[in-house]
Structure 1
Amino acid sequence: MTDTLTFRKATENDLSHIIKMLADDTFGSTRELLEDGVSEVYVKAFEKITADANQELTVVEMNGELVATFHLTFIQYLTHQGGLRAQIEAVRTHSGHRGQGIGKQVFDYAINRAKAKGCRMIQLTSDKQRPDAIRFYESLGFEATHEGMKLKLGL
Protein backbone atom coordinates (compact mmCIF):
# COMPACT_ATOMS: atom_id res chain seq x y z
CA MET A 1 0.00 0.00 0.00
CA THR A 2 1.49 3.33 -1.01
CA ASP A 3 -1.17 5.75 0.23
CA THR A 4 -0.52 7.52 3.53
CA LEU A 5 -2.92 7.02 6.40
CA THR A 6 -3.96 9.88 8.66
CA PHE A 7 -5.13 9.13 12.21
CA ARG A 8 -7.34 11.57 14.11
CA LYS A 9 -9.95 11.65 16.84
CA ALA A 10 -13.44 11.14 15.47
CA THR A 11 -15.87 14.02 15.25
CA GLU A 12 -19.64 13.87 15.34
CA ASN A 13 -19.60 14.31 11.56
CA ASP A 14 -17.83 10.93 11.31
CA LEU A 15 -20.55 9.00 13.14
CA SER A 16 -22.50 7.93 10.08
CA HIS A 17 -19.37 6.49 8.45
CA ILE A 18 -18.26 4.78 11.66
CA ILE A 19 -21.66 3.15 12.19
CA LYS A 20 -21.69 1.90 8.60
CA MET A 21 -18.26 0.31 9.10
CA LEU A 22 -19.39 -1.28 12.38
CA ALA A 23 -22.47 -2.71 10.64
CA ASP A 24 -20.53 -4.00 7.63
CA ASP A 25 -19.86 -7.52 8.84
CA THR A 26 -21.80 -10.62 9.87
CA PHE A 27 -22.09 -9.68 13.54
CA GLY A 28 -22.38 -5.91 13.21
CA SER A 29 -25.19 -6.12 10.71
CA THR A 30 -27.41 -7.65 13.39
CA ARG A 31 -26.56 -5.23 16.22
CA GLU A 32 -26.16 -1.79 14.68
CA LEU A 33 -28.97 0.60 13.84
CA LEU A 34 -28.73 1.88 10.27
CA GLU A 35 -31.18 4.59 9.34
CA ASP A 36 -31.30 7.92 7.57
CA GLY A 37 -29.27 10.22 9.74
CA VAL A 38 -27.60 9.14 12.95
CA SER A 39 -29.72 7.76 15.77
CA GLU A 40 -29.69 9.72 19.00
CA VAL A 41 -28.34 6.63 20.83
CA TYR A 42 -25.07 6.96 18.90
CA VAL A 43 -24.89 10.71 19.43
CA LYS A 44 -25.31 10.28 23.19
CA ALA A 45 -22.67 7.53 23.30
CA PHE A 46 -20.29 9.67 21.23
CA GLU A 47 -20.74 12.60 23.62
CA LYS A 48 -19.88 10.37 26.60
CA ILE A 49 -16.83 8.96 24.83
CA THR A 50 -15.46 12.37 23.85
CA ALA A 51 -16.07 13.77 27.35
CA ASP A 52 -13.94 11.02 28.92
CA ALA A 53 -10.19 11.65 28.79
CA ASN A 54 -9.63 7.89 29.10
CA GLN A 55 -11.36 7.11 25.81
CA GLU A 56 -10.29 7.79 22.25
CA LEU A 57 -12.48 7.02 19.26
CA THR A 58 -10.16 7.26 16.29
CA VAL A 59 -10.78 7.34 12.56
CA VAL A 60 -8.27 6.65 9.82
CA GLU A 61 -8.31 8.53 6.52
CA MET A 62 -6.65 7.80 3.22
CA ASN A 63 -6.88 10.41 0.46
CA GLY A 64 -9.64 12.18 2.40
CA GLU A 65 -11.75 9.02 2.73
CA LEU A 66 -12.53 7.26 6.03
CA VAL A 67 -11.06 3.77 5.72
CA ALA A 68 -10.88 2.49 9.30
CA THR A 69 -11.86 3.14 12.90
CA PHE A 70 -11.08 1.86 16.39
CA HIS A 71 -11.84 2.71 20.00
CA LEU A 72 -9.16 2.81 22.71
CA THR A 73 -10.03 2.91 26.39
CA PHE A 74 -7.34 3.48 29.00
CA ILE A 75 -8.06 1.58 32.21
CA GLN A 76 -6.30 2.21 35.52
CA TYR A 77 -5.69 -0.94 37.58
CA LEU A 78 -4.24 -1.69 40.96
CA THR A 79 -2.77 -4.91 39.60
CA HIS A 80 0.54 -4.91 37.79
CA GLN A 81 1.77 -2.39 40.37
CA GLY A 82 -0.92 0.14 39.60
CA GLY A 83 -0.46 -0.27 35.87
CA LEU A 84 -2.44 1.34 33.11
CA ARG A 85 -3.69 -0.79 30.24
CA ALA A 86 -5.38 -0.07 26.95
CA GLN A 87 -8.44 -1.89 25.67
CA ILE A 88 -8.91 -1.77 21.90
CA GLU A 89 -12.37 -2.45 20.53
CA ALA A 90 -14.56 -1.82 17.51
CA VAL A 91 -11.65 -2.15 15.07
CA ARG A 92 -12.98 -1.99 11.53
CA THR A 93 -11.51 -1.44 8.11
CA HIS A 94 -13.91 -0.36 5.39
CA SER A 95 -14.80 -3.44 3.34
CA GLY A 96 -13.54 -1.81 0.14
CA HIS A 97 -10.09 -1.35 1.66
CA ARG A 98 -9.46 -4.68 3.37
CA GLY A 99 -6.39 -6.69 2.47
CA GLN A 100 -4.21 -3.61 1.89
CA GLY A 101 -2.27 -3.63 5.15
CA ILE A 102 -4.42 -0.96 6.81
CA GLY A 103 -5.21 -3.18 9.82
CA LYS A 104 -1.52 -3.65 10.57
CA GLN A 105 -0.95 0.10 10.44
CA VAL A 106 -3.98 0.67 12.68
CA PHE A 107 -2.55 -1.67 15.31
CA ASP A 108 0.94 -0.17 15.02
CA TYR A 109 -0.61 3.24 15.71
CA ALA A 110 -2.80 1.97 18.58
CA ILE A 111 0.09 0.14 20.24
CA ASN A 112 2.31 3.21 19.99
CA ARG A 113 -0.53 5.37 21.36
CA ALA A 114 -0.87 3.00 24.34
CA LYS A 115 2.89 3.12 24.96
CA ALA A 116 2.83 6.93 24.81
CA LYS A 117 0.12 6.96 27.51
CA GLY A 118 2.30 4.73 29.71
CA CYS A 119 0.28 1.54 29.35
CA ARG A 120 1.86 -1.71 30.45
CA MET A 121 -0.29 -3.76 28.07
CA ILE A 122 -2.91 -3.55 25.38
CA GLN A 123 -5.74 -6.04 25.30
CA LEU A 124 -8.65 -6.95 23.09
CA THR A 125 -11.45 -9.43 22.77
CA SER A 126 -12.54 -11.17 19.61
CA ASP A 127 -15.55 -13.34 18.97
CA LYS A 128 -14.53 -17.00 18.72
CA GLN A 129 -16.48 -17.12 15.46
CA ARG A 130 -13.93 -14.77 13.85
CA PRO A 131 -11.00 -17.14 13.23
CA ASP A 132 -9.43 -14.89 10.57
CA ALA A 133 -9.42 -11.94 12.96
CA ILE A 134 -7.93 -14.08 15.72
CA ARG A 135 -5.14 -15.26 13.40
CA PHE A 136 -4.49 -11.63 12.44
CA TYR A 137 -4.21 -10.56 16.10
CA GLU A 138 -1.88 -13.49 16.81
CA SER A 139 0.31 -12.44 13.86
CA LEU A 140 0.70 -9.07 15.62
CA GLY A 141 1.91 -10.75 18.82
CA PHE A 142 -1.34 -10.93 20.78
CA GLU A 143 -1.71 -14.10 22.84
CA ALA A 144 -4.87 -15.78 24.11
CA THR A 145 -3.74 -15.83 27.74
CA HIS A 146 -7.19 -15.60 29.36
CA GLU A 147 -10.65 -17.01 28.78
CA GLY A 148 -13.07 -14.12 28.32
CA MET A 149 -16.65 -14.29 29.47
CA LYS A 150 -19.64 -11.99 28.99
CA LEU A 151 -23.05 -11.72 30.54
CA LYS A 152 -25.59 -9.86 28.41
CA LEU A 153 -27.77 -7.65 30.58
CA GLY A 154 -30.33 -6.68 27.94
CA LEU A 155 -31.63 -3.23 27.20
Structure 2
Amino acid sequence: MMHSKPILLVEDNADDEVLALRALSKSNISNPIVVARDGAEALDYLFAQGQYADRDSRDLPAVVLLDLKLPKIDGLEVLRRIRGNEQTRVLPVVILTSSRQDEDLVSSYNLGANSYVRKPVDFIEFVAAVGQLGIYWLLLNELPY
Protein backbone atom coordinates (compact mmCIF):
# COMPACT_ATOMS: atom_id res chain seq x y z
CA MET A 1 0.00 0.00 0.00
CA MET A 2 1.34 3.40 -0.98
CA HIS A 3 1.68 5.75 1.97
CA SER A 4 0.12 9.14 1.53
CA LYS A 5 2.55 11.99 1.25
CA PRO A 6 2.55 14.47 4.10
CA ILE A 7 1.35 18.05 3.95
CA LEU A 8 3.90 20.56 5.20
CA LEU A 9 2.08 23.35 7.03
CA VAL A 10 4.40 26.30 7.68
CA GLU A 11 2.59 28.48 10.21
CA ASP A 12 3.89 30.44 13.20
CA ASN A 13 0.52 31.53 14.58
CA ALA A 14 -0.73 28.86 17.01
CA ASP A 15 -4.40 29.78 16.47
CA ASP A 16 -4.05 29.58 12.67
CA GLU A 17 -2.22 26.26 13.04
CA VAL A 18 -5.07 24.81 15.10
CA LEU A 19 -7.63 26.16 12.61
CA ALA A 20 -5.74 24.68 9.64
CA LEU A 21 -5.37 21.28 11.34
CA ARG A 22 -9.06 21.26 12.29
CA ALA A 23 -10.06 22.35 8.77
CA LEU A 24 -7.98 19.56 7.20
CA SER A 25 -9.47 17.04 9.60
CA LYS A 26 -13.04 18.24 8.94
CA SER A 27 -12.35 17.86 5.22
CA ASN A 28 -11.44 14.18 5.79
CA ILE A 29 -7.87 14.73 4.63
CA SER A 30 -5.95 11.85 6.10
CA ASN A 31 -2.44 12.74 4.92
CA PRO A 32 0.01 13.15 7.77
CA ILE A 33 0.63 16.80 8.57
CA VAL A 34 4.05 18.12 9.46
CA VAL A 35 4.01 21.55 11.08
CA ALA A 36 6.98 23.89 10.84
CA ARG A 37 6.63 27.00 12.97
CA ASP A 38 9.20 29.17 11.18
CA GLY A 39 10.93 29.38 7.84
CA ALA A 40 14.17 27.84 9.06
CA GLU A 41 12.36 24.75 10.37
CA ALA A 42 10.49 24.41 7.05
CA LEU A 43 13.76 24.46 5.12
CA ASP A 44 15.34 21.99 7.56
CA TYR A 45 12.43 19.63 6.95
CA LEU A 46 12.48 19.98 3.16
CA PHE A 47 16.24 19.63 2.84
CA ALA A 48 16.62 17.00 5.63
CA GLN A 49 18.98 19.01 7.79
CA GLY A 50 19.12 20.06 11.44
CA GLN A 51 16.51 18.20 13.52
CA TYR A 52 15.32 16.47 10.33
CA ALA A 53 18.75 15.23 9.23
CA ASP A 54 17.63 11.58 9.48
CA ARG A 55 14.69 12.15 7.08
CA ASP A 56 14.92 11.04 3.44
CA SER A 57 15.10 14.32 1.52
CA ARG A 58 13.67 12.60 -1.58
CA ASP A 59 10.40 11.97 0.31
CA LEU A 60 8.79 15.32 -0.51
CA PRO A 61 5.42 16.47 0.81
CA ALA A 62 2.36 16.45 -1.44
CA VAL A 63 1.99 20.19 -0.93
CA VAL A 64 3.46 22.97 1.20
CA LEU A 65 0.96 25.37 2.80
CA LEU A 66 3.21 28.35 3.42
CA ASP A 67 2.50 31.44 5.48
CA LEU A 68 4.46 34.54 4.46
CA LYS A 69 4.99 36.35 7.74
CA LEU A 70 7.31 33.92 9.55
CA PRO A 71 10.05 34.26 12.14
CA LYS A 72 13.71 33.55 11.28
CA ILE A 73 13.21 33.19 7.52
CA ASP A 74 10.14 34.71 5.88
CA GLY A 75 7.86 32.80 3.54
CA LEU A 76 9.07 34.52 0.37
CA GLU A 77 12.66 33.49 1.13
CA VAL A 78 11.50 29.92 1.89
CA LEU A 79 9.75 29.90 -1.50
CA ARG A 80 12.87 31.32 -3.21
CA ARG A 81 15.00 28.52 -1.74
CA ILE A 82 12.45 25.82 -2.65
CA ARG A 83 12.40 27.01 -6.27
CA GLY A 84 16.19 27.40 -6.32
CA ASN A 85 16.83 23.76 -5.43
CA GLU A 86 16.77 21.07 -8.13
CA GLN A 87 15.08 18.55 -5.85
CA THR A 88 12.25 20.82 -4.62
CA ARG A 89 11.87 23.07 -7.66
CA VAL A 90 8.53 21.55 -8.77
CA LEU A 91 7.11 20.99 -5.27
CA PRO A 92 3.55 22.44 -5.08
CA VAL A 93 3.56 25.49 -2.82
CA VAL A 94 0.34 27.22 -1.78
CA ILE A 95 0.74 30.55 -0.04
CA LEU A 96 -1.81 30.63 2.78
CA THR A 97 -1.60 34.06 4.34
CA SER A 98 -3.56 36.82 5.98
CA SER A 99 -1.46 39.39 4.11
CA ARG A 100 -3.54 41.88 2.13
CA GLN A 101 -0.48 43.43 0.48
CA ASP A 102 -0.54 43.24 -3.30
CA GLU A 103 3.26 43.15 -3.43
CA ASP A 104 3.20 39.88 -1.44
CA LEU A 105 0.81 38.42 -4.01
CA VAL A 106 2.96 39.55 -6.96
CA SER A 107 6.21 38.47 -5.28
CA SER A 108 4.77 35.05 -4.44
CA TYR A 109 3.85 34.35 -8.05
CA ASN A 110 7.11 35.83 -9.36
CA LEU A 111 8.98 33.39 -7.09
CA GLY A 112 6.97 30.44 -8.39
CA ALA A 113 4.05 29.93 -5.99
CA ASN A 114 1.44 27.56 -7.42
CA SER A 115 -1.42 29.30 -5.67
CA TYR A 116 -2.07 32.24 -3.35
CA VAL A 117 -4.92 32.04 -0.85
CA ARG A 118 -5.82 34.72 1.65
CA LYS A 119 -6.91 33.21 4.94
CA PRO A 120 -10.58 33.89 5.52
CA VAL A 121 -11.19 35.27 9.00
CA ASP A 122 -14.39 33.25 9.36
CA PHE A 123 -13.79 29.64 10.50
CA ILE A 124 -16.48 28.12 8.27
CA GLU A 125 -14.99 29.86 5.23
CA PHE A 126 -11.52 28.79 6.34
CA VAL A 127 -12.62 25.13 6.62
CA ALA A 128 -14.17 25.34 3.16
CA ALA A 129 -11.05 26.95 1.67
CA VAL A 130 -8.65 24.44 3.23
CA GLY A 131 -10.94 21.57 2.26
CA GLN A 132 -10.97 22.74 -1.35
CA LEU A 133 -7.18 23.12 -1.28
CA GLY A 134 -6.90 19.59 0.09
CA ILE A 135 -9.20 18.09 -2.51
CA TYR A 136 -7.38 19.80 -5.33
CA TRP A 137 -3.75 19.36 -4.25
CA LEU A 138 -4.10 15.92 -2.66
CA LEU A 139 -6.66 14.18 -4.86
CA LEU A 140 -6.79 15.86 -8.26
CA ASN A 141 -3.31 17.21 -8.78
CA GLU A 142 -0.73 14.78 -10.16
CA LEU A 143 2.82 15.12 -8.90
CA PRO A 144 5.91 14.75 -11.09
CA TYR A 145 7.74 12.86 -8.32
TM-score normalized by structure 1? 0.31
Larger radius of gyration between Structure 1 and Structure 2:
1
TM-score normalized by structure 2? 0.33
